[in-house]
C-alpha cells in the first residue's frame, strides 16, 4: 500500500530526525563513544566503519554482562557465544553478531539520524565524551587493538575486562543528559515544546493510544504550529489506518465475489470522516475512498496496490475482474473484528521513539 512514506512524512512535521528503531539511549551512547574515538585517532570514514563493527561487538558483550535481561540487536548471538565460552570472547570484522551487522546493528539503525542531529559538532560533545574515553584506560587499550585489526584479525578478550567499561554505559546524568536531551529530543518548533510538556506532566505517554497522545499534547500546548501539525497527524492516521485494515482484511482470502465485497460490514464500517486540511493529492485520493461505496473503496485499494507494485517493479497483490477479486499475495493478512476506526491506530509517527528516549533519560 506504500503507506509508510505517508505517515513518516507526517511524523516529520513534529519529530525531525528519529526513526522507529532509533529508540535506545545506550545505543546512542555507544555511537557517541565511537565518534569520540574517531576524532581522537583521526580515523577516515572507511576506517571508522570497519572500526565500528568490532567496537559494537565489544559493547554488546559489555551490556550483556552488565545486565543480561534487556534485548538489543545481536543479543541472540552474544548469548550463544557467552554460553559456549564463559571466560573469553573474540571480536573482529569476521565475528559479526548479526547476519549483516552493519545493516541491522547500531550503524544501520542509528547513524543517519545521529548524523542529522549534529550532536558531534556541539562543543559539549567533546567535553563530555573526550572526558569519558580519556578516563577509561581499558577502553583506550582495547580501541587501539581494534584499530589495528583490519578485516582479517580478531582480538580475544577476557570477559572480566569488560567490567572496566561498565561506567561508560551508566544512565546519562548532568551535562551528558543535557546533551542528549538537546539533540535526541528535538522537535520542529525549535523551542522544545514537546519536551517541556513532558517535563511538566506526570502522564506516561507510552501508555496512551496515538489519538489520546495527540489530544493530550494539543491540550497542553499554546503553540499554534505545533497543535496544527498534531492535528494533521491525527487526520492522516484517520485516513490511512482504516484503509490499511481493510486491505489486510481483504488479504485473508484468496477469492472474493463482488457481491461479498459490496455487502461486507467491515469494509463498510471501517471509515472515517476526515478533515483534509493540508492534504496533498496522494492523501486526498485516499481520503475520498472513505466517502465511496464498498466496491469503489476496494477498487481504489486495488489501484493503489497496483501503482505501488509498479514503482517497486513487482506484481500487484490483487486482481480485480468483472465480478470478483483475486488475491495473489497474503503477506500481512490480518483481521481484528474489534477494530474501531475512531479509536484505534496503526502507525506511531516517531512519537513512540521520542517518548521511549525521554523515559530512559528520566
pLDDT in tens, 89-106: 999 999 999 999 999 999
Q: Is the predicted pLDDT of residue 77 greater than 90, yes or no?
A: yes
Crossing angle, helix 106-117 and helix 45-66, to 10 degrees?
110
In the block, cell 565475528 appears at 95
Q: What is the mean pLDDT of residues 61-72?
A: 93
**Would you state the pLDDT for residue 310?**
93
Burial class of residue 82 (count of CB atoms within 10 Å of its CB; 0-12, 13-18, 19+)? middle
Average pLDDT, the chain: 96
For the chain, percent of residues with pLDDT exceeding 70: 100
Q: What was the pLDDT predicted at 174? A: 96
**3-state class of 91 per DSSP?**
strand
Residue 8 has a pLDDT of 96
Asked if residues 339 and 248 have their Cβ atoms less than 8 Å apart, the reply is: no
Distance CA 80, CA 69 (A): 14
Indicate if the alpha-carbon torsion angle 347, 351, 357, 358 is positive or negative.
Answer: negative
Is residue 295 scored above 80 in pLDDT? yes
Better-scored residue on pLDDT, 85 or 171: 171
290 pLDDT higher than 90 = yes
Q: Is 9 helix (H, G, I), strand (E, B) or coil?
A: helix
Per-residue pLDDT at 322: 81
Q: What distance separates the 2 farthest-apart alpha carbons in the chain?
A: 74
Answer yes or no: is pLDDT of 86 > 90.
no
Provide, rounded to the nearest whole percent, the portion of the chain with pLDDT above 90.
Answer: 97
Amino acid at each position: 500500500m506504500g503507506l509508510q512514506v505517508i505517515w513518516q512524512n507526517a511524523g516529520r512535521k513534529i519529530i525531525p530526525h528519529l526513526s522507529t528503531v532509533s529508540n535506545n539511549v545506550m545505543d546512542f551512547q555507544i555511537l557517541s563513544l565511537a565518534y569520540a574515538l574517531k576524532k581522537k585517532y583521526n580515523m577516515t570514514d572507511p576506517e571508522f566503519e570497519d572500526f565500528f563493527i568490532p567496537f559494537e561487538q565489544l559493547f554488546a558483550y559489555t551490556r550483556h554482562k552488565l545486565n543480561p535481561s534487556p534485548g538489543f540487536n545481536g543479543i541472540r548471538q552474544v548469548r550463544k557465544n557467552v554460553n559456549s565460552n564463559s571466560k573469553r570472547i573474540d571480536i573482529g570484522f569476521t565475528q559479526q553478531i548479526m547476519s549483516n551487522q552493519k545493516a541491522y546493528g547500531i550503524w544501520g539503525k542509528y547513524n543517519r539520524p545521529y548524523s542529522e542531529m549534529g550532536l558531534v559538532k556541539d562543543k559539549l560533545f567533546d567535553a563530555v565524551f573526550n572526558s569519558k574515553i580519556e578516563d577509561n584506560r581499558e577502553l583506550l587499550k582495547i580501541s587501539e587493538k581494534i584499530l589495528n585489526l583490519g578485516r582479517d584479525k580478531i582480538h580475544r578478550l577476557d570477559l572480566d575486562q569488560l567490567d572496566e567499561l561498565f561506567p561508560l554505559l551508566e544512565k546519562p546524568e548532568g551535562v551528558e543528559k543535557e546533551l542528549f536531551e538537546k539533540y535526541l529530543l528535538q522537535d520542529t518548533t525549535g523551542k522544545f515544546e514537546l519536551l517541556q510538556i513532558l517535563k511538566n506532566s506526570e502522564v506516561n505517554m507510552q501508555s496512551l493510544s496515538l489519538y489520546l497522545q495527540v489530544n493530550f499534547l494539543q491540550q497542553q500546548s499554546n503553540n499554534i504550529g505545533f497543535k496544527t501539525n498534531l492535528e494533521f497527524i491525527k487526520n492522516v492516521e484517520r485516513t490511512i489506518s482504516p484503509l490499511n485494515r481493510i486491505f489486510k482484511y481483504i488479504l485473508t482470502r484468496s477469492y472474493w465475489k463482488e457481491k461479498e465485497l459490496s455487502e461486507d460490514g467491515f469494509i463498510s464500517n471501517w471509515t472515517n470522516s476526515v478533515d483534509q486540511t493540508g492534504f496533498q493529492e496522494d492523501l486526498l485520493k485516499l481520503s475520498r475512498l472513505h466517502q465511496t461505496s464498498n466496491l469503489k473503496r476496494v477498487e481504489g485499494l486495488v489501484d493503489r496496490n497496483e501503482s505501488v507494485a509498479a514503482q517497486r517493479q513487482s506484481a500487484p497483490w490483487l486482481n480485480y475482474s468483472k465480478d470478483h477479486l483475486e488475491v495473489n499475495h497474503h503477506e500481512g493478512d490480518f483481521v481484528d473484528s474489534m477494530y474501531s476506526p475512531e479509536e484505534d491506530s496503526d502507525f506511531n509517527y516517531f512519537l513512540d521513539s521520542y517518548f521511549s528516549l525521554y523515559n530512559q533519560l528520566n
